[in-house]
Amino acid sequence: MVYDRQDQYAYTRVILGPALAWARGTAACLNFNCLLILLPVCRNLLSFLRGTCSCCRRSVRKQLDNNLTFHKILGYTIAFLTAIHTIAHLFNIERYYDSRQDSNQTLKGMLSSIGNENGDWINPIRSMNMTPSLFCFTTIAGITGVVITLALILMITSSMEMVRRNYFEVFWYTHHLFVIFFAGLLIHGAGRLVRGQTSDSLSSNDYKACKDKFTHWRERHTDDHGDDDDDDDDDDKCYMPSFQGNDPMTWKWIIAPIIIYLLERLMRFIRSQQRVVVIKTVSHPSRVLEIQMQKKGFKMEVGQYIFINCPAVSRLEWHPFTLTSAPEEDRFSVHIRSAGDWTESLISLFQEKTDNLPRMEVDGPFGTASEDVFKYEISMLVGAGIGITPFASILKSIWYKFQNADHRLRTKKIYFYWICRETGAFAWFADLMRSLEQEMASSEKDGFLNYRLFLTSWDSNIAGHAIINFDVATDAVTGLKQKTIYGRPVWENEFTKVAETHPRSTVGVFLCGPEALAKNLEQCCNQFSSLDPRKVQFYFNKENF
Identify the weakest region by mean pLDDT among 36-50, 157-171, 280-294, 384-398. 384-398
Pair 100, 182 in one domain: yes
The residue ranges of DSSP E strands in 135-207, in sequence order, are 195-197
Pair 162, 28 in one domain: yes
Pair 246, 122 in one domain: yes
At position 517, the amino acid (one-letter code) is L
Strand pairing category for 319-322 and 305-309:
antiparallel
Q: What pLDDT score does 460 carry?
A: 60
Pair 108, 188 in one domain: yes
Pair 167, 49 in one domain: yes
CA 34/CA 85 separation, integer angstroms: 14
With CA atoms as reference, report the closest residue to 382 among 287, 494, 485: 494
pLDDT at 152 over 80: yes
Q: Rounded to the nearest 10 degrees, how much is the dihedral formed by the CA atoms of 228, 234, 235, 239? A: -50
Evaluate whether residue 225 is within a structural domain.
Answer: no
| Beta-sheet strand order (sheet of 361-366) | 319-322, 305-309, 361-366
With CA atoms as reference, report the closest residue to 413 among 382, 452, 378: 378
Strand pairing category for 449-455 and 413-420:
parallel
Band (262; pLDDT cuts 50, 70, 90): very high
Pair 334, 383 in one domain: no
186: left (phi over 0), alpha (psi -120 to 50) or beta: alpha
pLDDT in tens, 185-216: 999 988 888 888 888 888 888 888 888 888 88
Using DSSP's 3-state secondary structure scheme, residue 444 falls into coil
Pair 377, 356 in one domain: no
Band (224; pLDDT cuts 50, 70, 90): very low
Evaluate whether residue 521 is within a structural domain.
Answer: yes
- Residue 221: other Cβ atoms inside 10 A: 9
CA 250/CA 258 separation, integer angstroms: 12
pLDDT in tens, 9-30: 999 999 999 999 999 999 999 9
Band (407; pLDDT cuts 50, 70, 90): low
At position 435, the amino acid (one-letter code) is S
CA 124/CA 115 separation, integer angstroms: 10
- Looking at every residue in the chain, the average pLDDT score rounds to 83
Pair 362, 449 in one domain: no
- Residue 11: other Cβ atoms inside 10 A: 26
CA 256/CA 434 separation, integer angstroms: 51
With CA atoms as reference, report the closest residue to 219 among 228, 210, 227, 206: 228
Q: What pLDDT score does 191 carry?
A: 81
Evaluate whether residue 133 is within a structural domain.
Answer: yes
CA 112/CA 109 separation, integer angstroms: 5
Half-sphere exposure of 64 (CA within 13 A, CB side): 25
CA 280/CA 294 separation, integer angstroms: 10
Evaluate whether residue 219 is within a structural domain.
Answer: no
* Structural domain for 49, as ranges: 2-214+240-250
pLDDT at 424 over 80: no
CA 437/CA 471 separation, integer angstroms: 19
- What is the pTM assigned to this prediction? 0.79
Evaluate whether residue 258 is within a structural domain.
Answer: no
Pair 10, 158 in one domain: yes
Evaluate whether residue 261 is within a structural domain.
Answer: no
CA 396/CA 382 separation, integer angstroms: 16
Higher pLDDT pick, 154 / 217: 154
Question: In Å, what is the CA distance from 394 to each residue of 104, 136, 177, 244, 383?
Answer: 78, 57, 37, 63, 12
Pair 353, 386 in one domain: no
Pair 357, 399 in one domain: no
Provide the number of structural domains found in the chain: 3
Angle (nearest 5°) at CA 13 between 7 and 14: 110
- C-alpha dihedral sign at 262, 265, 270, 271: positive
CA 211/CA 359 separation, integer angstroms: 74
Query: CATH no. for residue 500?
Result: 3.40.50.80
Pair 440, 375 in one domain: yes
Domain final residue pick, 344, 366, 388: 366
pLDDT in tens, 287-336: 888 899 999 888 888 888 899 999 998 888 888 898 888 888 888 989 88
Provide Rg for the chain, Cα atoms.
33
Domain final residue pick, 332, 347, 366: 366
Evaluate whether residue 130 is within a structural domain.
Answer: yes
Of all helices (H) and strands (E), which one includes residue 507? strand 506-512
Domain final residue pick, 366, 398, 425: 366
Evaluate whether residue 270 is within a structural domain.
Answer: no
Query: CATH no. for residue 335?
Result: 2.40.30.10
